[in-house]
Structure 1
Amino acid sequence: MRYILLAVIVILSSDLMAQSEELPTVLTSDFAKKIYEIDTNAHAIVLFEHGKTRIDKSESDRSLMVFHHYKTRLRILTKEGYEHANFTIPLYKYGSNFEYISDIKATTYNLIDGKIESTPLKNKDLFLENRSEFVKLNKFTLPDIQIGSIIELEYTLISPDIFNFRSWQFQTAIPKLKSNYRVQIPATYKYNITLKGPLKLSDTKSKVQRECLILNGQKIDCSDITYFMDNIPAFKTEAYMLAPKNYISAINFELEEMAMSRGGIKTFTKKWSDVDRELMTDKNFGGQLKKTNLFEGIFAETVNASSSPYDKAKEIFKWIQQNIKWNNTYGKYTQHGIEDALKAKNGNIADINLTLVTALNTMGIESYPILVSTRENGIPNSLHPVISDFNYVIAGVKIEDKTYLADASDPLLPFGELPLRCINDKGRIIFSKKSSEWIPLVNNQISSTDYSFDGLLDLSGTLKGRLVITYSGMDAVGKRRNILEYGSVAEYEEAIDEKLTNIAIKEINIGNLHDNEKELIENLDVEIKTADHIIGNSFNFNPIFINRISKNPFNLDERNYHVDIGSKRDESHTITIRLPNGSSIKASPKNTNLVLPDKSARYSYKSELRDGTLYVTQSLSLKKAIYDSNEYFQLKELFSRIIQHLKIDHSFNHVPDATL
C-alpha cells in the first residue's frame, strides 16, 4: 500500500486548469465502441468523472458548509452492467444536522434507429431511506437502461463536515477512462491530504484563487488544486478481505489547523494524550465508567465470590449479554447512557460494552474500553489520532497479565471472542491513568468444523449412516446463528434437507445449541445417493460427500492486498464406510500431503481399504489469520490442487459371489 502525505498551506503555482468541467455533447459516435481496451470484460465503464469541492458560506444554513459537486458519464456494456444504473448516495448526520443534496440531474441516452433518444430521471423516482438515526440513503435508478446506454448524473451535496472535507475515490468496481477532482480550500484551513492506493496520479494542476471567500468582512484566498488520473482499472474484490476503502486508490482530507478570525491557530490534529483526556472527560464515554454504584448488589446472586477472576468475568459478561439487547447501532459514545440502557434493557454498542467495562471494574476485575473501527469502516489511521476513524468500542479485560477482548452485544459469542466485524487490524485501548496504546484485534480460538461419518454402502448405491458435525470458534457462532434464524429445529431440518439435494436427513439432534461456551454438535442420520446401482463388476463414488471444496476462493491474476480470514481455521473429514461384500479398490485419489512454506497452511488426504471397510481422512489447516499479498499465489495454487484432487472418485471392483 502506498501513501503520499501533503500539507496544504498556500499553493504558489498559478497554472490554469487543464481541463474543462463541462462534458461534451453525447454524439452517435459515442455508441460505436463495444469493447474498451482498459478492460475487455467490463460490464460498464466510466467515460468521464469530475468532482469539485469547496468551502463556502451557506445562507440557508447560516454557516460555512462543504459544497461537493459531482458529475459523471458512464456506459452500460452488458446486462450484468445494469446494476450500475442504480445509485445510492449516503447522507450522514454531523451534530444536529444532516448532509443534503440539491440539484440532482440524471439522464439516460440510447441510440435508436440512428437517433439519440434521452430519458431524464423524474423526481418521483427519487427515494430517501432512513437507514438509522445517523444515516439516510438517497436512492434512484436511471430509466430505460439497455445494453449500450450512456448515463449522465450530476448533483451537489452540501455537508457540515468541514473536518474531513470530502474524500474522492479514483478507483471503484468498474474501470474509468478519466477521473479528476478539484478542491478549493481557503487559506485559513490547513489539511493533511493523503493519496492512498497503488495507482499514480497522471497530473496535478494548482493555482491560487484570489478572494474566493469573504468571512467576517475579510477576503480570503484559496488553494485551487485539481488531481487527474486516467485509465483506471476496476478494483476487483474477492473473498477474505477487509473493506475495499483500505486498498483502492483515493484521496482523503483531514483538517489539521484553522486560523481563527480574531487571531491565533486552532489545532485539530492532536496527540493521543489529548484524545485520551477528552474521551475520559466526555460524559458519554469516560463519564459512564464512573457509575459503579449502579451495580451494587446486582451480582450478589449471579457471581460466586469464591470463583476465579476469569470465571467471575465470564458470569458478568453473560449477565450483560442477557440483560441489554443490542439495537443494531454502532457507536463509541453511549446513545442512552448505561443507566437508561439497564432500565430499558436496550442500547447501542457503547451502551452495552461500557456497561460491561464498568460492571467488571465494580467487581474488582481490571477492564478498559478499546476503540475499534469495524471491518467495513476501514483501518484506523496509525500515523496520528483521528477519533472519527473509530465507530465501535469493546472491552479489554485484564486477568493475570493476559488481556481478553470482549463484546457483549452478541448473545452467541463466548467470552474472549470478537465478532468478525471487529477483527480489523488493531484497536486503541484507553487507560484511565496512563497513555492509551494499540492492541491487536484477534481471536485466539481456532475456527474449526469437523465432519465424522460412519456408515454402510448397500448394493443400491445408497450410503446410510451417522454424520456428526462439530463446530468451534467462529464456525460455531455462525452455525448457531444460522440454526436460530429458524423457528424450530424441525424448520431448520426441513430447510437443510431441501438444500442438500443428494442427502436425505432421517433424524437430527443438536447438542449445546444454547451454550456458547461449548462446541456445537449436529448428529444426523442420513441417506446419500453416492453411486449408481451396483450391478456387474465395478462402481464409483466420492466419499467426501459434504462440503467438498469445489470452487477456488482465490481467482485474481494479481491481488495487492492481504488475505484476512478473521481467525486461524481447521476443517477435517473422518469417513468410515463398510462396502458391499466382494469390493476391492480399482483406482482412488493418491494419498497426498501439501504444505505451504513456513508451514502456514497444510492439506492432507489419505484413504485405505481394510477388511472390507474404506477409511478416508482429509484435513485442511490454515495456520494464519492473515496472509500477505506475496503469499496469495501459494494459497491460490493450494486450493487449485485440492479441487483437482477431490474431483477424482474412488473406483471399486465388485465380485457379487465373493465371500468373506
Structure 2
Amino acid sequence: MNHLRLKSTLFVVALMSVQLLLAQDYDLDKVSEAELEMKVYAKDSLAPAVYLNKIRETYVDYKSTSGFMFVNEVTERIKILSKEGLDYATKQILSYKSNGDKERVEDIEAVTYNLVDGKIEKTKIDKEGVFENERSEHWDETTFTMPDVQVGSVVEWSYKTVSPYYKIDDLVLQESIPVVNYYAKIRTPGMFQFRRIRKGYFDIKPKESVADGGFSFQNSYGTSTYASFKELVAEYTYTDIPAIKDEVYLVNPRNYRWSVVYELISTEINEGEKKEYATTWEEVAKSIFKAKEFGGQMNPSSFIKKVAESIVANNSGTKERIDAALKYVKSKVTWNENYGKFTEDGVNKAYDKGSGDVAEINLLLTVLLRECGVQANPVLISTKQYGIPLYPTREGYNYVVVGIRNGLKTTLLDATDKLSAPNILPTRVYNWKGRMINAAGVSQELDLLETISPRRDSYISAELTEDGKLTGVLKQRFSSLEALELRHQIGNKSLVDWKNERVDYFGVDQITNHKMESLELLDKPITESLDFVIDQAVDQVPGQMYLNPLVFLRLDENPFKADERLTPVEFDYPVSQNINITIKLPQGYTVQQLPEASRIVLPGDMGSFTYSINNSGNTLQVMTKFDLKDNFIPVDSYLDLKEFFKLRITKEAEKVILQKSI
C-alpha cells in the first residue's frame, strides 16, 4: 500500500472520511417491547422477517505501518416474523484477498432479544459461534448464527470490516426482506475522489456537509506529525424500503436492487502525485488480455497443433473448419458450470481432465481455430445473471465466448453448451454488449443481439365436423435460439416420450405421425410435424357452434399480473412468432360472426401483435404475428406491456360463431 511521505508541516486536503474525529450521530434506540410483540409487518404482511434498522458508516483510517485502510462499521437489527424468517438469523460476511493483502472482519458483537413473561431477555453470541472459512482463492467468509432464536425474536449485530483496498463497498438499501429504516454515512478524503452512481429504480439524494478531520502519523524523521483536513460527509437516509422479489421474466433481481455505487476516479496520496483510476472499456479489455490466466493461455501446445493439422487436412473451407473445431472441443471438454473470464487451472489441464470452466473451454477453442487459419478472438461478456456493469471495470465481465469477424459479419461460438452452434449460443450470454479482443490486445464492442434471428412459424390445416370434432395437421419451424431452446427441452427424451408430452402441452386428444426433422443438425432449424385430433373443439348450442380459430396455439394467460413492478422485464431474446391456420368448416354451417382484425403496438416500437381473419366459402383462415423487437422492457413501460398482453389475450380468446343453415 502507499504510505504518506509528508513533511512535518500542517497538511490540509479536502477529505471525505477519517475515523478519529467524527463519531456516528445516528442513535439507535434500545430494542423495545413493541418490536418484540410485532406479529406482522403492516406494509408487507407476507414478509418472513424485516430489517428494523440497517446502519453503516464508512471512513478512511491511516496507520504508519499499513497505510490507508477503508473501514465499514455496520449495525443491523432484524425482526423474525415466521419460521421462514429464521434464515435471516445467520449472517455471512465476505472478505476479499489478493497478492498478500486481505480484508479483515473485527469487533463482532451480536445479541438475540426475546420477550419472556413480559421481560426482555438478551442472549449474546460466544466467540465459538463465529466461523471463518476460505470460500475460494480470493474470498474468505465469516459466518455466525444467532443463539436462542425463535419466531418473534429480534436479532442485532454489529461488526467492522477493514480493507487495504481503495474501494467503498456498495451501499445496499434494498434486500430480500423489507427495510424500515436505512442510514449510511460515507466520509472520503479529498485525496480519494469518487463518482457516485445510483443503481435500481429509486431516487435518493445524500445530505452533504463539510467537517474537520485529521490524524497523526510518523514522518520521515521518525517524529509524530498531525495532518488536518476538511472532509466531505454524505449521509443517506431512507425509510420503508420494499423487499426486492422474484418476478416473471427476471433473471436476477439483485441486479436491480436499490443501491449506490462508489467508483474510484483518482487518488493523490502525496501532494502533486495524482493517479487516475477511471478508465475505458478498451483499457479494461487490454488489462484482462495481459493476464496469464487469459492472454497467457493463447499459445498453442503441441497437441493443439496436431489436432489443427488434422482439421485442416480434412476440411478445406473456413465454415467446415469452424464446425469441426467447435465439434472437437465440445466432444473433448465438458463444462463444469463454473463461470469466469480467467482460467482456473489453465487450458492444457482442462483438456487433460476433460472438464473445465468457461474461459478454459472457449480459450481452447480460440487457440484451435487460430491454428486452423481462422481469425478467431475471445469475446468478453457479462451474463444476464451477472448483470450490466455501471462503469468500466475488470469486474464488469464474467464470461468469454469466441468471435470470428468477417467484414461486417460476426460469428459467435460457445463450446460450453453441447447443443450450441455458430451464432446459436445459450441464452445466458445475450446480455448487453460483448467486447472482442484481437491478438494485439486491441478490442472492439459487439452487439450480441445482431447475430441472432429467433423465429417460430406455426401452420395448421384442419377440418371441423358437424359434431365438433377437429382433425388436422400441425407443422412448426423453430429457428435460431427457438431451435436451441426446443433441443434443450427435449434433451435426452425419446421421441415417444416427447410426443406424449406434446399431447398434454397442446391439450389435444390424440397425436399421430409425429416427426422431428433436423433435430441433430445443430445449425439448422427444427421442423416438427404431427397429426392431431380434438374430439370436442367447439362450444355448441342448438343450431350454433362457437369456435376459437387459434385452436391450441393461443396465449391464454397474462404472465404480468402485478399492478406495479420495481424491476424491468427481461425476455430471453427478441423473437418473431407467426401463426397461420386454415380450417375447413362443416357442410351446412355459415359464419355468422368473425372477430375483428387488430394490431397492437408497444411504445417505442418495442413490439407488436397483429391479428387478421377472413372467411371464404366454407374455409376460415386466421393469421397472427407477434414481434418482440426489444427483449429489455424498462420499469416505466411495465404497465404498457401488461396492457399489451391483456389486449392480445382478449383478442386471441375471441370466437367465431357458426350458424347452421335451415
Taking structure 2 as the reference length, the TM-score comes to 0.79
Aligned to 1:49: 54
Q: What code does the residue aligned with 1:509 have?
A: K
Q: What code does the residue aligned with 2:174 have?
A: Q
Given that 1:85 and 1:141 are in contact with CA atoms closer than 8 Å, whether structure 2 keeps it comes out as no
Q: What code does the residue aligned with 2:444 have?
A: E
Distance 1:275 1:500, change over 3 A: closer
Distance 1:492 1:213, change over 3 A: farther
Given that 2:379 and 2:400 are in contact with CA atoms closer than 8 Å, whether structure 1 keeps it comes out as yes
1:441 aligns with 2:448: yes
SS in 2 for 1:299: helix
Aligned to 1:253: 262
Q: What code does the residue aligned with 1:152 have?
A: V
Distance 1:397 1:175, change over 3 A: same
Q: What code does the residue aligned with 1:253 have?
A: Y
Deviation digits for residues 449-505 of structure 1 (CA, Å, limit 9, x no counterpart): 233233344455443433333222222212211211x45334444455556666554
Counterparts of residues 47-126 of structure 1 (less than 5 Å) = 47-53=52-58, 68-74=72-78, 85=88, 89=92, 91=94, 94-95=97-98, 103=108, 105=110, 107=112
Match of 1:537 among 543, 555, 561: 543
Given that 1:470 and 1:519 are in contact with CA atoms closer than 8 Å, whether structure 2 keeps it comes out as yes
Match of 2:290 among 274, 281, 288: 281
Aligned to 1:5: none
Aligned to 2:207: 203
CA distance in 2, matches of 1:159, 1:514: 55
Counterparts of residues 175-574 of structure 1 (less than 5 Å) = 175-183=178-186, 191-197=194-200, 198-201=202-205, 203-204=207-208, 207-208=211-212, 210-211=214-215, 225=233, 227-234=235-242, 238-240=247-249, 243-244=252-253, 247-256=256-265, 268-270=277-279, 275=284, 277-291=286-300, 294-303=303-312, 307-382=316-391, 385-433=392-440, 435-458=442-465, 461-484=468-491, 486-495=492-501, 497=503, 504-506=510-512, 508-528=514-534, 530-531=536-537, 536-546=542-552, 548-554=554-560, 563-574=569-580
What are structure 2's unaligned runs of at least 5 residues?
1-12
1:643 aligns with 2:649: yes
Distance 1:155 1:209, change over 3 A: same
Q: What code does the residue aligned with 1:573 have?
A: I
> How many residues were matched structurally?
639
Deviation digits for residues 303-329 of structure 1 (CA, Å, limit 9, x no counterpart): 567744344333323332332221111
Deviation digits for residues 35-57 of structure 1 (CA, Å, limit 9, x no counterpart): 757x7997865432112446679
CA distance in 1, matches of 2:146, 2:576: 44
SS in 1 for 2:431: coil
SS in 1 for 2:165: coil
CA distance in 2, matches of 1:23, 1:115: 17
Given that 1:187 and 1:221 are in contact with CA atoms closer than 8 Å, whether structure 2 keeps it comes out as no
CA distance in 1, matches of 2:136, 2:467: 57
Aligned to 1:28: 34
Q: CA deviation at 1:350?
A: 1.1
Deviation digits for residues 357-387 of structure 1 (CA, Å, limit 9, x no counterpart): 22222222222222222222222244xx411
Distance 1:117 1:599, change over 3 A: same
Match of 2:172 among 169, 174, 177: 169
CA distance in 2, matches of 1:487, 1:565: 26
- Worse-superposed segment, 230-239 or 581-590: 230-239
Deviation digits for residues 51-83 of structure 1 (CA, Å, limit 9, x no counterpart): 24466799xxx9987664543334577x79859
CA distance in 2, matches of 1:17, 1:123: 27
Distance 1:452 1:9, change over 3 A: farther
Distance 1:345 1:602, change over 3 A: same
Q: What code does the residue aligned with 2:237 have?
A: M
Given that 1:162 and 1:255 are in contact with CA atoms closer than 8 Å, whether structure 2 keeps it comes out as no
Q: CA deviation at 1:21?
A: 5.1
CA distance in 2, matches of 1:573, 1:123: 66
Distance 1:421 1:532, change over 3 A: closer
- Worse-superposed segment, 572-581 or 11-20: 11-20
Q: CA deviation at 1:283?
A: 1.9
Given that 2:17 and 2:186 are in contact with CA atoms closer than 8 Å, whether structure 1 keeps it comes out as no
Distance 1:206 1:142, change over 3 A: farther
Given that 2:568 and 2:638 are in contact with CA atoms closer than 8 Å, whether structure 1 keeps it comes out as yes
CA distance in 1, matches of 2:600, 2:128: 59
Q: What code does the residue aligned with 1:25 have?
A: V
Match of 1:620 among 611, 621, 626: 626
Deviation digits for residues 412-449 of structure 1 (CA, Å, limit 9, x no counterpart): 22212443322222233323336433333324322222
Distance 1:322 1:220, change over 3 A: farther
Given that 2:454 and 2:481 are in contact with CA atoms closer than 8 Å, whether structure 1 keeps it comes out as yes
Aligned to 1:4: none
What are structure 1's unaligned runs of at least 5 residues?
1-7
